[in-house]
Structure 1
Amino acid sequence: MDGQVEAILDDQERRERRAYASPHAIEAMIRGDFADAPALLDLLERHRMPLLRLFAMRDVTALAAVHVPVRTCAFLHVAKHTRSQVAYVHGHDCHEIVAVMRGECRQRFPNTGMTLALHAGDVCLLRPGAVHAIDPIDGDEVIVKIMVAPDVAREAMRPVLDGDGPGGDGDEVAVFRSCSDTAMLCVRMLLVEHARRRGHWRQAARGWLSLLAVELRRAGDGAATAPFSPLARRLSEYVARHPADADLHGFATSIGYSDDYASRLVRQSTGRTFLECVADARMRIATRMLLDTDQTVASIARLLGYASRSGLYKRFRRAYGLTPDEYRRLFRGPGHR
């Protein structure tokens, strides 16, 4: 990756790290990035969610229980998924392209129960209306997110949006594996044009976006029509049926495969081990019960197979940065215990 691109990525990391330390900067980001910013900020205030506390959490997907924010874009926005960013469920009124230049990217799609693992060279395209959450990163992953206004996408991305393969015919989410070096060059140049904004940058960006669409169409020709494997949904459903005693053998039997083969499928489909996926599924069950029921934390812990509530507390704090009780109060309001 050339020095110009690395400098842009490093600058974005620094700016976002500073921004997430200031409630005023967070509010400004919300107002600039979301079509429903006033409603979202009002909701957070009514639930007494302090912005710094909220965005210090690694995962705020539970916010979707009360409101799903909608990202917006007037023309084009290109940015790195930085180490400061947290996981949150959101929708779009624009197209989003997620390109993995280094490392891997994991996304969750709560409306379907699916997860998607992308690796270096992979790209996914989300149409307006798609709802997802991108997991936080910790290492040197480079994930670039490109937001494209609908009118710009219709003009510049016809090769993929109007095609017969992935991305065409209204696919909400389309995946393009092992894209060409030219496609990755387009992503880098879109990042540079957006960051530098030199003369005629909008025209240049449209050109790079059109070439990227051609390269995605080429990568998608002959690809399977299913955007990604439904295995993660089946695993989530299995854990929901067996929250206390889910194990690899039970899951493998439920889908008709050997333990080893099921383990490999889970890793390929989600980018995580079976045990990591089960732990995540249990945390999602815990968050739903904390929000939707009045069961005690101890009873939720027993339901999920923990020997004591302290086991759930430790896992929950690692996942969300606060205790189950704090989580319940934050997202349900001060009147709940």
Structure 2
Amino acid sequence: MKLTREEFQKYIYSYNDDETFYKTLYLQEKEHPETFHEYCLTLDRKKIYEHRLYVPELQTEAWYPYMKEIDLFHDINGNIVLSKHYRYTPVFPHEHEFFEILCLYDGTAHTGIQGIEHTLHTGDICIIPPHTTHSVGIFDDSVAFNILVRSSTFHSTFFQSLTADSALTQFFAHVLYRKTVGNYLIFHSGNDAQIHDMLENLYIEYLGHAKYSCTFLNSMLVIFWAMLLRFHENDIESILTKDSTGNSVTEILSYLNRHYQSVTLREAAKHFGYSTSHFSTLIKESTGRTFLQIIRDIKLNQACHALRETSLSNLAICELVGYESPEHFMRTFKKTYGMTPGEYRKKNRE
């Protein structure tokens, strides 16, 4: 049965039994610290075990849970799971094999991503890659929920939305898949009503368990991702997006995508107020690619689009994407794709 928006909001704001348990535990520790240990000893251990509740006071050793995809998805018909984050849950670090999209529906939350602390606010969408240690703390009536996605589904569902923008693809892939600590992406969507409504629609669809729900969820997630990029491409925070000048890497990459035909490293650096050497280093560290590699990939991506969708000659396409020498264009294209532009056009049209 599909929930109305009013029914959904009642569901998302209401405290269930487990949240009530955690809130009581939190208040007991805060208001009666001298008797808190004795209080914990009176708790129903069977309930704690069956509900998989976390009570640090009863732990005899450190607790660092790790969840595999099979643990979450083994009895689920689909690749996407939505769940509300229980308020007042004791903060604990954990990891898992799948992607987590933490959505701040209302209020604030504190999160740590491999030692990097953040305060999230209403409208913040935090994407956490697999194998990344993180924690979440909500100790008021704020509301957050998770969209949990299989790694393979995240890659195929989200990154297919970026095929027309290779520079952004490189940036997101570099941040989310690079083997360093503290990986994350945060979209600051604020009070964007469209994003808010889309999140509600996703969760309502998930709770409804209607026919073809898995297909709907996959499609809705693609649209959600596209909306974030369309409306909040320059509202992204990550371990790489900000430096002392305040310019974000997404702004730089968007600029390169608009001016790829003729822009030079010196011109782009000057536009953003960097020295050439610092700008070159920033691009490399942020995307894993050099300035010339990014420009080349954008040009070739646009050339491929023209070969598939138009009848322009190779010479016209060469000029369109900014290659001064047809020979250089032909040589670069064949080296990259293993075929000439003409062979590429024939193969894709067939």
TM-score w.r.t. the length of structure 2 is: 0.49
Question: Could you say what secondary structure the match of 2:147 adopts?
Answer: strand
Partners of 1:53 and 1:222 lie apart in 2 by: 37
Q: Equivalents in 2 of 1:166, 1:216: separation in Å?
A: 15
Cα distance, 1:70–1:141 mapped onto 2, change above 3 Å = same
Deviation, 1:18, is 6.8
Give 2:174's aligned residue.
169
Check if 1:63 corresponds to 2:62.
Answer: yes
Are the aligned partners of 2:184 and 2:238 in contact in 1 as well (CA < 8 Å)? Answer: no
Query: Relative to 1, partners in 2 of residues 1:223 and 1:147: Cα closer, same or farther, differing over 3 Å?
Result: closer
Aligned partners of 1:216, 1:76: CA distance in 2, in Å? 18
Give a deviation string over 1:94-140, Cα, whole Å, max 9, x none: 0000111211111012x3x31011111111101111111101322x2
Q: Deviations over 1:167-220 (max 9, x none)?
A: 432433011112543222222122112222122111111121111111222313
1:193 equivalent in structure 2: 205
* Contact 1:116-1:228 at 8 Å conserved across structures: no
CA distance change for structure 1 residues 2 and 183 in 2, over 3 Å: closer, same or farther? same
1:243-273 deviation line (CA, Å, top 9, x unaligned): xxxxxxxxxxxxxxxxxxxxxxxxxxxxxxx
Residues 29/165 of structure 1: CA separation in 2 closer, same or farther (3 Å cut): farther
Contact 2:185 2:236 survives alignment (8 Å):
no
Shift of 1:150: 1.3
Counterpart residue type for residue 7 of structure 1: K
The alpha carbon displacement at 1:25 in A equals: 5.0
List aligned pairs for 1:35-184, cutoff 5 A: 53-54=55-56, 63=62, 67-70=64-67, 72=69, 73-74=72-73, 75-109=79-113, 111=114, 113-138=115-140, 140-158=141-159, 159=161, 163-164=168-169, 167-171=172-176, 172-178=183-189, 180-184=192-196
Q: Are the aligned partners of 2:124 and 2:188 in contact in 1 as well (CA < 8 Å)?
A: yes
**2:144 partner SS:** strand
Question: Are the structure 2 counterparts of residues 156 and 27 from structure 1 closer, same or farther at C-alpha, using a change threshold of 3 Å?
Answer: farther
1:6 maps to which of 9, 13, 17: 9
Residue type matched to 1:63 in 2?
Answer: A
Match of 2:318 in 1: none
Kept after mapping to 2: 8 A contact 1:105/1:134: yes
- Flag the structure with larger Rg: 2
Pairwise CA RMSD: 3.4
Pair 1:205 & 2:205 matched: no
CA contact (8 A) 1:174 1:227 kept: no
Listed one character per residue, the Cα deviations across residues 136-168 of structure 1 (whole Å, up to 9, x for unaligned) are 322x21111111111221222123697347643
Is the Cα contact below 8 Å between 1:105 and 1:118 reproduced in 2?
A: yes
CA distance in 1, matches of 2:124, 2:188: 5
SS of 2:173's equivalent in the other structure is: coil
Secondary structure, in 3 states, of the residue corresponding to 1:85? coil
- The runs of at least 4 consecutive aligned structure 1 residues that moved more than 4 Å come to 18-26, 221-225, 227-231
Shift of 1:78: 1.0
Distance 1:99 1:227, change over 3 A: farther
**What is the distance in 2 between the residues matched to 1:228 and 1:15?**
40
Equivalent residue of 1:7, what SS?
A: helix
Cα distance in 2 for partners of 1:166, 1:104 equals 27
Q: Give ranges in structure 1 of 5+ residues lacking alignment.
A: 31-50, 232-337
Q: Distance in 2 between matches of 1:76 and 1:26?
A: 27
Change (3 A) 1:144 1:165: farther
Matches within 5 A, 1:275-294: none
Which stretches in structure 2 are left out of the alignment for 5+ residues?
Answer: 23-42, 74-78, 177-182, 245-350
What is the letter of the counterpart of residue 131 of structure 2? G
Letter in 1 for 2:93: V
* Residues 14-35 of structure 1, C-alpha deviations (whole Å, 9 max, x = no match): 14337867644544555xxxxx
Contact 2:189 2:235 in 1 (8 A): no
Q: Counterpart of 2:188 in structure 1: which amino acid?
A: R
More relative contact order in 1 or in 2 (CA 8 Å, sep 6+)?
1
Which residues of 2 match residues 245-264 of structure 1 at below 5 A?
none
How has the CA–CA distance of structure 1 residues 224 and 154 changed in structure 2, closer, same or farther, with 3 Å as cutoff? closer
Letter in structure 1 aligned against 2:152: D
Asked if structure 2 preserves the Cα contact closer than 8 Å seen for 1:103 and 1:120, the reply is yes
Aligned-partner SS, 1:86: coil
Say whether 1:226 aligns with 2:225. no
